[in-house]
Structure 1
């Protein structure tokens, strides 16, 4: 039986609206008209976001005004008279929400630089960047107010939720370059550092296994259904490769930036050409496995979601080579059972967005972050040079993404895809990361017009906050029973409250000088 399209209607449906499709046929001309009739007006689902924005803007405005008033000499003197001087000092030094500099830096360092040890400078912008990514990650994991743009994309394309994990990987690479250089400068041997890298990688992996898998209502962990991949597991594997590679070629850099070097414009690149060759070889492996591996029952180089996608031709081919490798090496029961593609594409096979093949491009992402760290090391205190290079790298990565995707969701050779961690996804997100780091670095460490609060506190205790928000996700006060589970207002209030609580917890831990480092 031949099917005939009667009409085609493009319409933006609002939430909770009631609609009817009216189809009319003009018998004289045989023309068919289709019209949407609104039976019940939809609600404005974006009003809760607007009100939340106003509330948070009001809070930060009051904090900023309080800081401004405290810095006025007459008000400062009045506080000394009316309040306990010791308590006044505490209030003034706390900067109403920004970190106290006397806690973490000595007098010979500028306000934008913090110490983590006797001689190790710490850039506030890096912790601010990490904390910003973590804040969005926590909010998204708690539900994101049930808005579609705070949920992971079903397959190709990007939402806000798809931005944060790659940024976290990126800034991990940046911090790795700085920390390894610092420890080498302090006299640590490469053997000691290698043991530290191995220990940290294993600990991240084991933490991920313990956090991702338990369901205490169903009993203890069971190997039969243990999910092996995960966020922390991928961080551990990525850190092991990138930090190990950096350690292999790393040399302690002199404190002085005035040391002459051949070809100074590329002194952050030239000494590390073997690392770039290794990364290119890794990417060739990803490309060959993705596009040349013979996957049973699937076309070679398939990048689709399977299920009912592609007119249902390849229902069991979700993720192509990436899904096949995970199912082959890890087993179907040891990978993620409910991928984001299952809702829209009705996929039936498990697929893990943190799988084996995607970890290769996660390493590439961290390595690009490592390059940002080398820029900070080699051009220390040369703010214009640093910001220029961040800008150039952002443009280069953006150009590569444009070539791979043709600036579209579906039409390019390699679409942007978070589930697959495609190379275009990495170049796109690294372009955004360099641009964001440029902005944060300029505001926090160069112009010093922003202390980095409140994201700075989250960045200083990122692992603790991530582990904590996963463990206590379903407990009060981070979650409570809602009166209306279909309400964006209630979901947004709950998710923002939970995220804000972790900001407050990280601030309290910062004031108590409690930091969980692994």
Structure 2
């Protein structure tokens, strides 16, 4: 009995030793699997951290900041407001900077496309959202922030605008990127122009946009046209503009305006074009002022700065932007990326300067001329490269954090700040008179009266009460991981 018991205990002990050996083997295998898993996950973790390039958000934030600055301070500083016609001011960089960064973002977002149909659905849905918000904010329905009314006469609704142009460019560039997903190279050949030939269909799309724009601009016959002035104080008088020409790049008889008048109808164009600040229209040029008595009739006419033909030209800005995104994907070294970016930026700038100063094709934002595309895209490339050096190469993120925060919530800041929806909401709470609201009080008593200057006070108000304020709001939302995305 004792012997049997000892044998049983010995057998159990042997089983325990075997179990221990098995347990040790299992633990060893688990540790090995964990190590292997960590080895595989480590690049994924690093990739996750570097996937969102900080420069992208900072550049987008910079564009939003510039928009707020020129929109709200441009009235007292005409030199930073949109150029009345030929030339380029600070405000004229905003739109192409938007389109440039949209192109970069498309390249990164569509780097891998598991299902083309699903990607197309998302692209079309986002396009429709942008169109909806564009018409709502800039179509005339919203009168923010100064007028406490809403509603639009459908006879005069404006169909075009900033978000509508972004929607068109985004849709075209993203669809080309999606449909050519199977033609993308995994690695580039060592040839100098390999990055261009690898994405030849994207460049072909940009070239077709360029071709349509140039042929239409210089060959389309522009006949005489008339309009009824709807601006308050001028009555309802009808004016006629004499044209009968082709290839004209002036305000009155260009093909860009003619296409919009034919497609949208003259009542649906922007009623306060910046050409009213030309010397031919006002003695206060380049600022706004009373129209001259001898001003030509077209000074009173509407003109769409985000029209159809000029938006086709704007596709080139998105095409150049997506090229910068492709460089970011394929070139892993900082020096290789910067060499591609900076060289292309300077080439575009030189082309634009030559075209402008030889009077071949003047730089013109209202027409979105080819020289304007080159000049602004080149500037965007140089600024993007500078941000990349400061933020992603040298690691100086702290000074640019507020730009990153704004860039992460760009749509929110655009709607609430740039379009004045938040200020309109605050202005809706007033005492006795609409001018006795918190926004008006802060601007007048905290900034303008303290500095005893409308210009300085307005500039400081825009910097601190708008840009800095929304930078802090965007930072708080980032901490809470709240983002408004379309």
- Asked which structure has the greater CA Rg, the reply is 2
Question: For residues 297-336 of structure 1, what are the structure 2 equivalents within 5 Å?
Answer: 297=224, 298=243, 299-306=245-252, 317=253, 320-336=254-270
1-structure distance, mates of 2:393, 2:56:
13
The answer to whether the Cα contact below 8 Å between 2:363 and 2:372 also exists between their aligned partners in 1 is yes
1-structure distance, mates of 2:204, 2:345:
21
Return the offset for 1:266. Answer: 3.1
Question: For residues 39-78 of structure 1, what are the structure 2 equivalents within 5 Å?
Answer: none
Aligned residues: 383
Q: Secondary structure at the match of 1:472?
A: helix
2-structure distance, mates of 1:152, 1:134:
16
Match of 2:136 in 1: 210
Matched, 1:472 2:422: yes
2-structure distance, mates of 1:171, 1:430:
10
The TM-score with structure 2 as length reference comes to 0.74
2-structure distance, mates of 1:449, 1:249:
37
Match of 1:83 in 2: none
Matched, 1:426 2:363: no
1-structure distance, mates of 2:403, 2:44:
22
Match of 1:339 in 2: 273
Q: In the TM superposition, what whole-angstrom CA distance separates every residue of 1:174-218 from its partner, at most 9, and x where no partner exists?
A: 010010014x2xxx3010000000000110011011111224655
Question: For residues 99-498 of structure 1, what are the structure 2 equivalents within 5 Å?
Answer: 115=49, 121-144=51-74, 146-182=76-112, 184=113, 188-212=114-138, 213-215=140-142, 217=148, 219-251=150-182, 261-297=188-224, 298=243, 299-306=245-252, 317=253, 320-344=254-278, 345-346=280-281, 347-379=299-331, 381-406=332-357, 411-451=358-398, 452-469=400-417, 470=419, 471-474=421-424, 475=426, 479-480=440-441, 482=444, 487-496=454-463, 497-498=465-466
- Runs of 5+ in structure 2 lacking a partner? 1-40, 225-242, 282-298, 428-437
Please report the RMSD computed on the Cα atoms of aligned residues, expressed in angstroms. 2.4
The answer to whether the Cα contact below 8 Å between 1:478 and 1:498 also exists between their aligned partners in 2 is no
Distance 1:322 1:478, change over 3 A: farther
Return the offset for 1:139. Answer: 1.7
Higher helix share: 2
Match of 1:516 in 2: 484
The answer to whether the Cα contact below 8 Å between 2:92 and 2:365 also exists between their aligned partners in 1 is yes
Return the offset for 1:443. Answer: 1.1
The TM-score with structure 1 as length reference comes to 0.70
Match of 2:434 in 1: none
The answer to whether the Cα contact below 8 Å between 1:145 and 1:493 also exists between their aligned partners in 2 is no
Q: In the TM superposition, what whole-angstrom CA distance separates every residue of 1:138-186 from its partner, at most 9, and x where no partner exists?
A: 122223472122211111111111112211110110010010014x2xx
Q: Secondary structure at the match of 1:372?
A: helix
